[in-house]
Every structure is written in C-alpha cells, then in structure tokens.
Amino acid sequence: MITQPLREEHKALFPEVEKLRIAADSAGQVSAKALRLLVDEAYGFLTHHLIPHARAEDEALYPVVGRVMGAPEATATMSRDHIEVGKLTSDLSRLRLELATAAPSEVQVRELRLVLYGLYALVKHHFAKEEEIYLPLLDERLTPEEAHEMFEALERAAEHAKQAPSAEREAH
Ligand SMILES: [Fe+2]
Ligand SMILES: [Fe+2]
C-alpha cells in the first residue's frame, strides 16, 4: 500500500496514545510522584510527537486529501480535531504545573481524568478516521510519484514542527 509509511507512523504512536488512558486510570490510584511522572510522559508525547505529527499533516497531508476529494475544505473538520488536541494539551499543561508543587486535590484528579480520557478518545477516533477514510482514498488515487512527493513534504514539515516549538511549549 502506498500509504504504508503513515500507517507505520500511527502504529508507532499508538502505544503512547494508550498510555494516556493508563495515566487517566491511574489518577487518584497512585502516589502524587507516580502520577507526576505519568503526566510528564503524556505531556512530552503530546508536545514532542503528536502535535508535530498533526502540524505536518495540516501542511502536507490534508491538502493532498482535499485535492484528491476535489473539495479542499473537506479536511477542515479533521484540522479542527488537531486544534482540540492542542486545547486539551494546554489544559494538561496547566494541571501539570499545579501538580508540580502539591499533591492533587480531588477536583484536580477529576479534571486530570477528564482531560486524559478526552485526549485518548479524541486521538483514537481521529487516527481511525485518517486510516479508514483518508488513507484508502490516497492508496487508490495517488501515483507512486505523488505519494513519494507527499511523504517527503510530510517529513520536512514534521522536522520543521519539531524544531519550531509550538506556542504551548514556548509558554513553559
Ligand atoms: Fe491527524
Ligand atoms: Fe495522523
């Protein structure tokens, strides 16, 4: 399949997505120190891996999907999912800072669960939409040359996104 590299990338990201759920399960069940580590790990994954991946897709994948569909605006709903990931990551960042200085209150534990389960459900569903709807479309309609070009552009965009930290990371 032409889009195999992107499927592989999702496969590599997915165990980290599962850890968002595990971190949510752990809130209120483990020590403050253990929870801090889980939150740090989740936050690191989101800011260093998932958000750069999403930014690269906005730049180099979705425009190709839009062109193939003959409707450039069709991918706006998927880009909106990426924005939501950014918003939930900001919420997580705030909670992370609160947790850094004191054991979490019951309210903070509930908030943390909400944010982490929300991210888990959103990202899992989002991956499924890309893999089940967008990638088969590209497999069917892109020439190997077009696919090659797209993957090169995606790689460049991802590298760029990793080097240029998001506003979120700049803030901390
Ligand atoms: Fe995406
Ligand atoms: Fe993706």
Output the six-digit token pair for 11: 């496969």
Ligand 1 centroid–CA 11 distance in Å is: 13
pLDDT score for 85: 98
pLDDT tops 80 at residue 171: no
Task: Give the pLDDT confidence of 49-106 residue by residue, as tens digits.
Answer: 999 999 999 999 999 999 999 999 999 999 999 999 999 999 999 999 999 999 999 9
Which ligand places an atom closest to the C-alpha of 8?
A: 2
pLDDT score for 164: 76
- pLDDT tier for residue 137 given thresholds of 50, 70 and 90: very high
Task: Give the pLDDT confidence of 10-49 residue by residue, as tens digits.
Answer: 999 999 999 999 999 999 999 999 999 999 999 999 999 9
Which ligand places an atom closest to the C-alpha of 85?
A: 1
Ligand 2 centroid–CA 130 distance in Å is: 6
Nearest to 51 by CA among 172, 171, 167: 167
Which ligand places an atom closest to the C-alpha of 86?
A: 1
Residue located via tokens 């190709």: 64
pLDDT tops 80 at residue 166: no
Burial of 128 (0-12, 13-18, 19+ CB in 10 A): exposed
Ligand 2 centroid–CA 33 distance in Å is: 31
∠ CA 162-118-6, nearest 5°, is 45
Residue located via tokens 């929870």: 35
CA distance linking residue 126 with residue 1, whole number of Å: 20
Ligand 2 centroid–CA 12 distance in Å is: 11
How many CB atoms lie under 10 A from the CB of residue 52? 21
Ligand 2 centroid–CA 37 distance in Å is: 25
Which ligand places an atom closest to the C-alpha of 6?
A: 2
pLDDT tops 90 at residue 155: yes
